[in-house]
Every structure is written in structure tokens, then in C-alpha cells.
Amino acid sequence: MRRKNLFAQSAAFLILASLAPLSIIFKNDTHFGANKVASTAPLLTLRDFRYKELENGTGGVEVLGSLGYHFADRDEIEKLVLLKKEGSYMTTVSSQKAVKRGDETMMSGGVSYIRSDGYKLFTDKSRYFQKSQMLHIETPFRFDGQKFVAFGDSSEIDMKNKKIAINSVRAKLNY
């Protein structure tokens, strides 16, 4: 009898000892999951929005998007359209998705840069650094000029110093 009682107590202790860590894990996992959802939720959500910033009362930048999210560490925009007036030129930048973290803006999906004087650039992925005014095109692209069409595998464009570097360039002249 005593042996049976000792066996039952040992079995009960082993079961409780093995289940206790599981309850702690599940309890902590549930708590962690709640924090995870809360931390990934955007601080602000915008739908079909338009943001306009004027420079000296004329021109400036206008940003449009179908859906925008503001997080603590980044901004995300779906179906981005950016309109920028520079002197006598109007530049339109568009992409399916844009993510801005600090100084860097990454654009992907049908990225296009179109200037009112007829210059056009099309690619699938690019990164723009605002302070240095550098544009990195990371995928094959097509650039349509007034008298030529150029293709390349990737490129770096220094907008501030008006310099461009293209990898594997191919061009066709239009007369």
C-alpha cells in the first residue's frame, strides 16, 4: 500500500513538474504575442490621402497615396505618386510601394520617374537618399530621352552633382 501511495505521489509530482513549465511558456507566449501585435500596429493610417508642401508660395512637393501607414521607425505608402515642381519642370515619381526609414526611401513595383520635358525612367526597384540626393536603381531599367533610349542593369544617379553611373548600358538613338 505504501509503495502504491509513493508511486502515485511520484507520478503526480512528475506530471505537475512537467506541466508547470508549459503553463509558464504559454502564459509568457500569450503575453508576448499581445505586445507583438501592439508594437506592429501603425500609429497612423491614411486612406486616399494627399499631402502638399509649398516652397516660397509656389511649386513644391505633393505626395498622394492610396494607403499610408506611419510607424515609430518608418512610413509605408501603397500606390505612391509624388509630384515635384523644380523651376520650369514638373517631375512625377510613382511606385506600387514605398518605405521611408530616416533619410532613405525605398520604392518597388512599377517605379517610374517622368519629367515634363519628356525624360522618363522605368524600373522595378530604387532607393533614394534625401540628404545626399543619390538615387540607386537596383534592377534593370529603361531611360527614354528626347533623342535616345538607354537600357542598363543598375545605376547610381547623383542629382546634386549631376553625375550618373550605369552598369551594362545599351542605347538606341532616335533620329
Return d(Cα 120, Cα 114) in angstroms, integer.
4
What is the structure's pLDDT at 46? 86
For residue 51, name the pLDDT band (cuts at 50, 70, 90): confident
Alpha-carbon distance of 50 to 61, in angstroms, equals 11
The residue extents of the domains of the chain are: 1-41, 44-173
Mean pLDDT, rounded, for 57-69: 82
Q: Which overall architecture, per CATH, does domain 44-173 show?
A: Sandwich (2.60)
Amino acid making up residue 79 = K
- When pLDDT is cut at 50, 70 and 90, the band that residue 154 belongs to is very high
Closest CA to 144 of 168, 166, 167, 113: 113
25 pLDDT above the threshold of 50: no
pLDDT at 56: 64
